[in-house]
Copies of this chain bind each other. A is one copy, B any other.
Amino acid sequence: MKEFMKAALDEAYKGIDNGDGGPFGAVIVRDGIIVGRGHNCVLSGKNPVLHGEIMAITDACRKLGTHLLDDCEIYTTAEPCPMCMGAILWAGIKAVYYGCNTKDTESIGFRDEVFYKMLNSENMGITYSEYDREECLKLFRDYSGRADKQLY
């Protein structure tokens, strides 16, 4: 739904405004309600693991008190990297809706090529769909124009 990607975008903007990391946000949704939110905190958290999807999953698990999110969906402003895709699969999340795709992410300078060479997204057995790309591309363009951008 449009409102969920909007919430993911709000997270991403919060992150780049804080200087937390790259332009990436995500939310976890269960039964039409947002149960987890997160944005990239690689720079502020000094930890390469802290991508938006990982932060959102961690937030949802904390709130729900479980390591299993198998009744949940994730909305994320960009196609998950293999680290995040792995986390999504381990969490048991059943559907992924992403805004920008991997080519879009590469196009603003992120070194995703090595990652997507190692990823084959055809056989994951879950819903995996582009969604609301135009709004998310606007986020990428905004970030690309910033003098303080860093590619994490």
Contacts and interface: CB of A to CB of B under 8 A. Distances in A.
A86 B111 CA distance: 12
Category for how many chain A residues contact B: 35 or more
Contact of A118 (B49, B67, B69, B85): B85
Contact of A117 (B61, B83, B114, B123): B123
Interface string A84-117: 1111011110000000000000000000001101
A57 B51 CA distance: 14
Copies in the complex: 2
Nearest to A60: B47
A58 B46 CA distance: 9
A57 B115 CA distance: 18
Interface in A114-135: 114-115, 117-121, 123-125
Nearest to A68: B48
Interface of A: 42-43, 45-49, 54, 57-58, 61-62, 65-69, 81-87, 89-92, 114-115, 117-121, 123-125, 152
29 contacts: A42-B67, A42-B90, A46-B61, A46-B65, A47-B57, A47-B67, A48-B57, A48-B61, A48-B87, A48-B90, A49-B57, A49-B90, A67-B152, A81-B86, A81-B90, A82-B82, A83-B84, A83-B87, A83-B89, A83-B90, A84-B86, A85-B86, A86-B86, A86-B115, A89-B115, A114-B123, A118-B119, A118-B124, A120-B120
